[in-house]
Amino acid sequence: MEKKTLILGVIGADCHAVGNKILEYGLTEAGFNVVNIGVLSPQEDFINAALETNAQVIMVSSLYGHGEIDCRGMREKCQEAGLKDILLYVGGNIVVGKQNWEEVYGRFKSMGFDRVYPPGTSIETAVGDLKKDLHLQ
């Protein structure tokens, strides 16, 4: 089976690198070709990497709470770049403060994200969703 490629990175002015490395390891171990663009990454870096590698998924993480602002318009930018079918995943501490998770989830879904994960989601959960969404199981 051909390995599916995903772009992994930490969006915006966020420099939290530990979770990013754990995700990279776990996703690689699960059989994915992981292109890790690292921390402090604007939307354009994710999109350019996806275009260059013909990726099927963009996985955005954010830990400093400004993910909602950093992710606005990303689906539209993907479509403009020709990435109409790319899967968009987001997770971490993606909003400021304690907010109702269902509302946060709804806002990210309405922004065009296929999967939205709260803090503390296991890698196994993301891997399971990837396999479902990419029709690998």
E strand or H helix at 57: strand 57-62
Choose, from 16, 45, 129, 133, the residue flagged as catalytic.
Answer: 16
Q: How far is C-alpha 46 from the chain's CA centre?
A: 9
pLDDT surpassing 80 at residue 27 = yes
pLDDT surpassing 90 at residue 6 = yes
pLDDT surpassing 90 at residue 56 = yes
pLDDT attached to residue 2? 78
Q: What is the mean pLDDT of residues 64-87?
A: 97
Q: What is the mean pLDDT of residues 68-88?
A: 98
DSSP-derived secondary structure letter, 122: -
pLDDT attached to residue 137? 77
Look up 45 and say whether it is catalytic: no
Alpha carbon distance 137, 28 (integer Å): 17
> For residue 77, which phi and psi values (nearest 5 degrees)?
-65, -35
User: Which of the residue ranges 15-19, 51-55, 78-82 would you say has the lowest mean pLDDT?
Assistant: 15-19
Q: What is the mean pLDDT of residues 58-67?
A: 96
Residue 47 DSSP SS3: helix
Degrees (nearest 5) of the Cα angle 27, 125, 66? 80
Look up 14 and say whether it is catalytic: yes
Q: What is the mean pLDDT of residues 25-34?
A: 98
